[in-house]
Structure formats: structure tokens, C-alpha cells
Amino acid sequence: MIDYRITFLGTAASTFSLKRNPTSILVTIRERSILLDCGEGVTSRLLRGKIDINTIDAVFISHGHNDHFVGISSFLWYNWLALRRKHSLEIIAPEYIFQDIDTLLSITHTPRDAFEFPLKRTPLVGDSDATIHPLDLGFPPPLKGEIGISFQTINTIHDPPSRAIRINIDVNDLGGEPRGEASICYTSDTAPSDNIISLAKNCDYLIHEATFLDEDMEKAIQFNHSTPSMAGSIARRAGVKHLVLVHYSNMLEGKETTILEQASREFPKEKIVVASDLDIIRGSM
């Protein structure tokens, strides 16, 4: 049996609310993890969730907005000073993000060569195309040929350029026969996008942003974001099994019932999760 978990560390858009941190999601497969986005406060959320940060092999940063990115500095400092990390960490991000990371480390006076662990940089190129890009990661270490994990990314409709990611987990028996599969797609920030429909096709969990309510649809489009029913429509057209909503603006605080109602205009209510910080979705194959 292969277990996986999706832990929601931050489900707020743009900035903090009383109940929510900016965006970060941890996907764990057999006790190895990849962090999807790195909003401010992510390290303290990981600690509060009693998550062993040593098990995080890679960090995917979708784009350079404040709510997805600035937690990387304190996350790296924690790995350096608290964990004394020695094993490698991979950062996957659009190419321009690496300059931003260097700037962030510079203005926080991070000593050069401070980190004793290899920091591997995997830049995502092709900011404007509609291609599904396969992503070659060494995550997690091979597990006796029993499990295969593949990653794909695609551009979304957002400014600055942002990527969605899909994680596919395939389980074979030791003879190589398929035994089960699971797939998780995370949109990060986007207006409703055909690219997301092609990336998320038939996946088990589509984690889609819902920054504004339906009554603010025009504002959502203007700022390259989505509403609950827009996310529901994408989920229906992609044929996904479950829709998980995240990335709510401050105006949506306490409106979880409305978010669910609006998403269910387009997608079956019983298959929708309105995620909160430190919620965990568990699956197995």
C-alpha cells in the first residue's frame, strides 16, 4: 500500500487573515515531500503541523507574488541553522524567480556559502506557450521499482508568469504490472484556463484557486484570478474526481458555505473540499 497526503499549510490569497496563512501546500508520498509554493510563515506552519522538514526534497514556486514566494528565505534559514541540513534541496520555479531568490537572500544578509546542503535549481522555461512540460526530478528516491512519480507543468493566465503543476503517482507490483495510480494538480494563481483543463484531465484532486466570490467575476478576470464557480467549471470540464478550493482573499473570510455553494453550481457538491490551513487529505493506492 502506498500512502500519500496533501497538507494545506496556507490557504489565503495575497496576505494573512486571522485563520489563514499565505499559500503553501505539502504533498507527501511515502514520507518524502514536495512543497508547492512557499508563502510567508510556511516554516512555522510546518512546525505547527509537526512535519519533519528533513523529508522535504523539493520546493516548487509557481510565481513571484508575495503570497507564494517570500517564505523561501526563512525556510532556507531554518534548514541551515535549525536543521543543519546536509542533503540536497531542489527548487523548481520559472526562470525569473532565481534572480528574486538571490535578491531576497542578499537583502537578508544571508552569508554566501552559508548553506551546507546542495541547492539544486531547476528553472522552468517557456513562459508563454501552452505546452505541458515534463519535469525531471530526482524525487523521491526510487523505492524498489515499485513506485513511479512524474511531474508536469503548464503556464497559467497570470501576471507575473505562473505555472501549474501536476504530480502523477504510479504504483506497480514488483513484476512491473500497474497496481494503482493517483494524480494531484495544483493551479496556483490563474484566470479560468484551457491549459489547466488539459493539465488536470481526469486527475484525482484538482487544487484550484478561488480568490474572489462569483459576484466579483469581473474583478477576478481583471486581476487574472478565479471564483468558486469558475473553478467548478474547470473541474467539470477536466473530468476530475475531486475539486479542492484554496487561495481566498480576505473578503472571503468566514464565507466557506458560500464558496461551497458557488462551486457546486458547476461541480458536484459532495466532491468539493473548501480547504483550511492544516487540513489534510489522505489517499492510498
Q: Which residues bind Zn ion (CB under 5 A)?
A: 13, 65, 67, 189
3-state secondary structure of 148: strand
Q: Is the dihedral of CA 214, 219, 221, 224 positive or negative?
A: negative
Query: Nearer Cβ to Zn ion, position 63 or 242?
Result: 63
State the Cα–Cα distance between residues 275 and 122, nearest whole angstrom.
29
State the Cα–Cα distance between residues 18 and 112, nearest whole angstrom.
36
Query: Nearer Cβ to Zn ion, position 68 or 85?
Result: 68
Q: Decide: 148 and 182 in contact? Cβ < 8 Å.
A: no
Query: Nearer Cβ to Zn ion, position 99 or 202?
Result: 99
Task: Quote the least distance from Cβ 211 to Zn ion, whole Å.
Answer: 7
Task: Quote the least distance from Cβ 156 to Zn ion, whole Å.
Answer: 9
Query: Nearer Cβ to Zn ion, position 40 or 266?
Result: 40
Task: Quote the least distance from Cβ 223 to Zn ion, whole Å.
Answer: 9
Query: Nearer Cβ to Zn ion, position 24 or 79?
Result: 24
Q: 36: Cβ–Cβ under 8 A, 6 or more apart, which residues?
A: 24, 25, 26, 27, 60, 62, 165, 186, 188
Strands laid side by side in the 89-94 sheet: 119-124, 89-94, 56-60, 32-36, 24-29, 3-10, 280-284
Task: Quote the least distance from Cβ 60 to Zn ion, whole Å.
Answer: 14
Task: Quote the least distance from Cβ 20 to Zn ion, whole Å.
Answer: 12
Strands laid side by side in the 205-209 sheet: 133-135, 147-155, 163-172, 178-186, 205-209, 242-246, 272-274
Q: Decide: 284 and 3 in contact? Cβ < 8 Å.
A: yes
Query: Nearer Cβ to Zn ion, position 10 or 140?
Result: 10
Task: Quote the least distance from Cβ 209 to Zn ion, whole Å.
Answer: 7
Q: Decide: 165 and 65 in contact? Cβ < 8 Å.
A: no
- Could you count the other beta carbons within 10 Å of the beta carbon of residue 198? 15
Q: Whole-angstrom distance between the N-terminal and C-terminal Cα of the chain?
A: 6
Task: Quote the least distance from Cβ 8 to Zn ion, whole Å.
Answer: 14
Query: Nearer Cβ to Zn ion, position 67 or 204?
Result: 67
